Structure 1
Amino acid sequence: MAGTGLGQLGLWLHLRSRRHDDPPLPEIPPGSGPAILVHVSPDAVRAEGQITRALRRARPGLRILRMQADARGDAGDDPALAAMILDRARPRAVLLLGSALPPALLSAARARHLPVALAELRLNAQDLGWGLQASMRRQLLEGAAAVMVADLASLDLARRMGLDPVMTGPVSEIHEPLPCSETERMSMAQQMNGRHAWFAASLPEGEEDAVLAAHQAVLRRAHRALLILSPHDPARLPALARKVEDQGLTLSRRAEDDDLGDEIQVLLTDGPTEMGLWYRLAPVTFMGGTLTGRGDAMRHPFEPAALGSAIIHGPEQGAHATEWRQLTGARATRALRHADDLPQAVTDLIQPESIATLATNAWTVSTGGADVALRIAERLSRLMDRPAEIPA
């Protein structure tokens, strides 16, 4: 299905018509070591640094030519310029990072029998369509020597195209786990005595009612359940304490060092402090701000992910859209469409096996960036030592 007559026609038309005014040419690094050409899509810029560092560790002396589209255009989309770059630099291989498939660069590399590797690739259902653009993308994908996809959905789509993909997962940003006092963690865990706990992290006022309604639903299923509640604004602590008690829930205040017996249903923290402690204690975390779009309340999703807490979140992503996309692609979160979905989501995650699946997937994404970059570098290094297979 990958290569079709329509795809060949689309590629021919594209190469015949696409031209840019003075697109950027990559600088050819000096030296005598082997060279590769790396083309970076906008959706893969964050992954580039880790991958290039891994490449240099795998191949000391490697010279890396970098290409990326800017406001003037993309040299990888211009046939004459793409051919000029490859002929001058004479790279051993071409690496495309991200979802863009520059037709001129891929065609020129194929004509020169250069192996092309795709990494951080994300496909969508439109790539299986029968239009000219989708057929052309499949035609370009067919010539790749290595197809490394970032998520399970792309893996399935690539297989349906007749490709032989490998899922490496995404090259995620390295995010160090938040610290906590181990003595305090052990003491709190002992007080909790095996109770099911969930954490509402950095909760804005507009989401308080939804979280408390969800906890009432959880208590009907697990009467010993504990909600750890961390308001985004510490000034909300007195009003939030009254709201909790007005709903008939028994409350413990972290600021007053109250006991945490089985009768306590809500633990009210001091606000956005000791976050590393709460992520470690709560098997499930709801990320505040993601229902109402309060960007100042939204915390980095890799915080709970790196500490093994399963994540529930609303539709708003704020400044961390890339990380949410990585977690979603790995099936590592429970997403909500709106606030009414929260009670069911939290109730569903009472079961340890459900929590474990999400938490494990999220932990892999949040901590696996360096390992993924290494696997990509090793695969490319092997390709540099052999010619690409050129379809008949």
Structure 2
Amino acid sequence: MRGPTPSLRWPRQRVHPTRMRAKPSLRCNCAGPAPLSSRMEQDFRFACSRCPRCRIAALPEAMSPITHLYLGFSMISGPLWRLVLRRRVKVGKESSVRLPERFGFYRRQRPEGVLIWFNALSVGECLALLPLIERVLEELPDAHVLLTSWNAASEVALTAARPPDRCIHVFQPVDTVQAVRRFLDQWRPDVAGFYGLDFWPRLMIETGRRGIPMMLVDSRMPDGSFRRRKRFAGPMRDILGLFDRLLLQDKASVPRFVALGADATKISVVGALKSAARPLPAPEKELAELRQQIGGRPVWLCAATHRSEHPAIAEAHAKVIEEIPEALLILAPRHVRDADEAEAHLRKRFAHVARRSREERIDRITQVYIADSIGEMGLWYRLAPVSFVGHSLAPGLEGKNPFEAIALGSCVLHGPETSFFAESYHGLGQAGGAIKVDSAGELASNAVLLQSSALRKPVLEGATKVVTDRRGVLDATWDAMRQAVPQTSVASPTFVGGL
């Protein structure tokens, strides 16, 4: 019996017409397997409109040489990844118990029904996705969400944040063909959402090959990133061409994505998801203990700092102590590995420096407390009424998320280098919800002034107004995703063959 005639209608099949060459003799899987010679010639993919489970997968026709080279490397890079991950386990950056997940081996099984997959890199990105995940599960009571992350610290942070019951967290596989295909074979997601601007070519290309709708969520393209990625225009065009929708944070990113190969008709500007993120968690017992140690001392926080900012921060705190001798600085470096260098800078000026990693207490003579821990920013923002959000004071930096501090009632100070969150900081500045500082002196003077609750009040009110105005970002993001979510699972079958 002859099977149904395959249809190449757009957009259901998610075919990229400019990057495929249809062959009249091709048959869909409904008609039975094609001859071996035909399968060997396949260099494109399509989905039969009458059979959503039918997939014929292969590479896009016009991939750049660099992309082909990377895909070839991903077929033999497994041993290298094993060496890298073993070293990470030794230094405590990887979980030995869950190491098999990096290679596509998972203890949990795929749940029945629709499965929405989100992929994020770090702790902050996972936490930013939680409100969207909650919204998805609220709208789809029978669906599940798979959340994958790269950073091992995200496991601890997500445990503390308590994601919904129908949200499954596993670690992202390494970008080898074997690990990626095992991952996709087991989980068979119905929709894939990739957060931010971190691209994994093998993972994304294999996802696209299976006809899984792909979305780029909460992404942006600062000028610095655009200049760097222009050097790899071919691979960027290949990857961006896979996405069915690109949901961006700001309008300034749109022409940059288009210049790198994205289809302008697929781009929507919905705002930053991080502005709608729920407050970071903090253990009540530890919070109460730290408050008892601090007592009534004035406190200010330098959060997510870069190593190049530490000398200026030390200078600023010295000026703060001149005005308020009992003031305490909590320093939370962006990378824990920078804590030793930060301590060396601080000890040149301050005799009493304590560190979280050494389990040292804050006493009445402690001048600086280095919070070199992971997943505890909820503690520090709650303790400090004033927060300098780092990665923004020294040249060449690009800023960090201000909304974590705002959500916990801490006034935001920031430097001039905020290109990663340019639109967010611009909106906060216009509303008086954040204060820009250009030097250690300005940082110190504002840290002193904002110890007054009366002076903090208008700043917090301006920041709260900005956050309230942006609550619609969840609605806009979900509305854009809803169109791609099937009523019932049409999970792709196991893929066999191809580069």
TM-score range, shorter chain: 0.5 to 0.7
Paired residue for 1:14, among 67, 70, 82? 70
Aligned to 1:45: 126
Count of aligned positions: 272
* Whole-angstrom CA distance in 1 between matches of 2:325 and 2:405: 16
SS at match of 1:147: strand
* Whole-angstrom CA distance in 2 between matches of 1:88 and 1:139: 26
Q: Does residue 61 of the first structure (1) align with residue 159 of the second (2)? A: no
* Whole-angstrom CA distance in 2 between matches of 1:106 and 1:58: 26
Aligned to 2:96: none
Give the superposition deviation at 1:364: 5.9
SS at match of 1:169: coil
Q: 1:305 to 1:90 in 2, by over 3 A?
A: closer
* Whole-angstrom CA distance in 2 between matches of 1:376 and 1:120: 8
Q: Does residue 121 of the first structure (1) align with residue 223 of the second (2)? A: no
Query: What RMSD in Å do the two structures reach over aligned CA positions?
Result: 5.1
Aligned to 1:313: 413
Paired residue for 1:34, among 108, 114, 117? 114
Q: Does residue 174 of the first structure (1) align with residue 278 of the second (2)? A: yes
1:236-255 aligned within 5 A: none
- Residue identity matched to 1:34: V
* Whole-angstrom CA distance in 2 between matches of 1:361 and 1:149: 24
- Residue identity matched to 1:9: P
**Residues 291 and 314 in structure 1, CA contact (< 8 A), matched pair in contact too:** yes
Q: 1:307 to 1:59 in 2, by over 3 A?
A: closer
1:304-383 aligned within 5 A: 313-315=413-415, 327-328=424-425, 332=429, 333-338=434-439, 362-363=463-464, 366-367=467-468, 371-383=472-484
Q: 1:116 to 1:360 in 2, by over 3 A?
A: farther
Q: Does residue 137 of the first structure (1) align with residue 236 of the second (2)? A: yes
* Whole-angstrom CA distance in 1 between matches of 2:416 and 2:226: 26
Q: Deviations along 1:276-307, whole A, 9 cap, x unmatched?
A: xxxxxxxxxxx8564999xxxxxx96599679
Q: Does residue 146 of the first structure (1) align with residue 250 of the second (2)? A: no
Q: 1:380 to 1:24 in 2, by over 3 A?
A: farther
Give the superposition deviation at 1:103: 1.0
- Residue identity matched to 1:328: Y
* Whole-angstrom CA distance in 1 between matches of 2:426 and 2:215: 21
Give the superposition deviation at 1:330: 5.1
Aligned to 2:173: 75
Structure with more relative contact order (C-alpha pairs < 8 Å, separation 6 or more)? 1
SS at match of 1:148: strand
**Residues 120 and 171 in structure 1, CA contact (< 8 A), matched pair in contact too:** yes
Aligned to 1:96: 194
Q: Deviations along 1:8-57, whole A, 9 cap, x unmatched?
A: 22221112113333525356655432112221122512212112111111
**Residues 29 and 63 in structure 1, CA contact (< 8 A), matched pair in contact too:** no
- Residue identity matched to 1:17: F
1:198-237 aligned within 5 A: 206=318, 233=326
* Whole-angstrom CA distance in 2 between matches of 1:27 and 1:375: 35
SS at match of 2:142: coil
- Residue identity matched to 2:211: H
* Whole-angstrom CA distance in 1 between matches of 2:103 and 2:212: 22
* TM-score with structure 1 setting the length: 0.53
Structure 1: where are the runs of 5+ without partners?
Answer: 177-199, 213-230, 236-286, 294-299, 346-357, 388-392
Aligned to 2:91: none
Q: 1:302 to 1:123 in 2, by over 3 A?
A: closer
1:282-301 aligned within 5 A: 290=388
Structure 2: where are the runs of 5+ without partners?
Answer: 1-17, 20-59, 83-99, 153-170, 281-297, 302-315, 329-384, 392-400, 447-458, 491-499
Question: Identity across aligned pairs (percent)?
Answer: 16
